[in-house]
Amino acid sequence: MRMFLIYMAAFVVIVAGMRAAKPLLAPFLLALFVAVACLPALWWLLAHRVRPAVAIGGIALGLLALISAVGAFLGKTAAAFSARLPVYEQGLRERLAGVLDQIASWGLVPEPQALGDLLDPAVALKWAADFMAGLGGVLTSTFLIVFTVVFLLFEFVALPHKWRALGEHAPDERHLVRVLESVKRYLVVKTWISLATGVLAAAWLALLHVDFPLLWGLVAFLLNFVPNIGSVIAAIPPLLLAIVQHSWLSALLVAMGYLLINLVLGGIVEPRLLGRSVGLSALVVFVSLGFWGWVLGPVGMLLSAPLTMIVRIALEADPRTRWLAVLLGPDPEPRRVVLAHNRAIDSERSSPKT
């Protein structure tokens, strides 16, 4: 019991320190995962006899241009959206009031005004504006992120040499390789799936003439990194805008488009490419989303799955904490357990009564 209290006290101190260091820690973690995602490009360039300094310099220039462009676009578009936010909020409230008055005329809602104050859809638009502002604030640290990525990539190139220099004193590298491979595979596959999701969402919204389609495509790309509920959250703001700008039919078309995109990419393509590499239970993914979002803000939400994966793999390395890793993971044999349970029930039913 005393050791448990010590561990919990250490956990609280660590989390408090992470919260206090969020302005520095969030860009560093983002840079770390960007560096891991850049490793396939780096290894490819090195395999084609490109000098490490040249390869890393080219990757850094590409990242600098990409992050600067995304940050500038996000800041400009988010400002324009925030300026029109009061108009959208008023339109949503008027639409909701009309719906509630119609329901009240049927005698289903005795006090439509009270229900309207409780169900305020404009909160979702306000949250979207705050999320984009917070993420844009992180992306303003472009040079810090890119410089950190550069130093991390140089360390990744030098790490095998340092490991060999340790000789017989080097620790088992298999665990580190497993962590890097798991996170790299997850980030690379997730990035391509998220990019396809964002492009298709933006194209669909542009076809339906919803305001700021590129912005909502970028939001769909970013929130697709948030497991389970990210795609649902990304669909809410454009759906509400479709209600304000056009009609309920337009909102239904927006919802159907997002549903189809996520069913195909998130439900079919992504599981085939990732398999069970994420290795986390649905409950753990949901809780980690709230925890890392509270500790690190929007960056923590985007990185909640890979951060929790690293924690689980680290727990797996120690026999004393391996049971925690098992609890954090998914059901190891869900189909076999269900089949065995069904066979036991059938056997009990078919056995002769005594």
Residue range 36-56, pLDDT digits in tens: 888 888 888 988 888 988 999
* Residue 38 to residues 34, 60, 67, 74, 149, Cα–Cα distance (Å): 6, 10, 14, 22, 9
Burial category of 245 from C-beta neighbours within 10 Å (exposed 0-12, middle 13-18, buried 19 and up): middle
pLDDT for residue 1: 67
Q: What does the angle CA 29 – CA 136 – CA 42 come to, to the nearest 5 degrees?
A: 45
In this predicted model, what pLDDT tens digit does every residue of 102-133 receive, in sequence order?
666 665 555 555 444 545 555 666 666 666 66
Calpha distance 336→108 (Å, rounded)? 48
pLDDT for residue 327: 78
Nearest to 258 by CA among 301, 217, 209, 302: 217
Calpha distance 274→50 (Å, rounded)? 30
Share of the chain above pLDDT 90, in %: 9
Q: In which region does residue 27 sit, left (phi positive, over 0), alpha (psi from -120 to 50) or beta (all else)? A: alpha
pLDDT for residue 164: 73
Burial category of 31 from C-beta neighbours within 10 Å (exposed 0-12, middle 13-18, buried 19 and up): buried
Query: Residue 350 pLDDT more than 70?
Result: no
Query: Residue 354 pLDDT more than 50?
Result: no
Calpha distance 196→225 (Å, rounded)? 12
Torsion of CA 110, 113, 116, 122, to 10 degrees: 170
Q: Which residue has the higher pLDDT, 70 or 257?
A: 257
Calpha distance 199→184 (Å, rounded)? 23
pLDDT for residue 103: 65
Does the pTM exceed 0.75? no
Sign (positive or negative) of CA dihedral 256, 261, 262, 267: positive
Share of the chain above pLDDT 70, in %: 73
Q: Quickly list H helices, 119-247.
A: 122-139, 142-166, 174-207, 213-223, 230-245
Torsion of CA 257, 260, 266, 270, to 10 degrees: -120
pLDDT for residue 206: 93
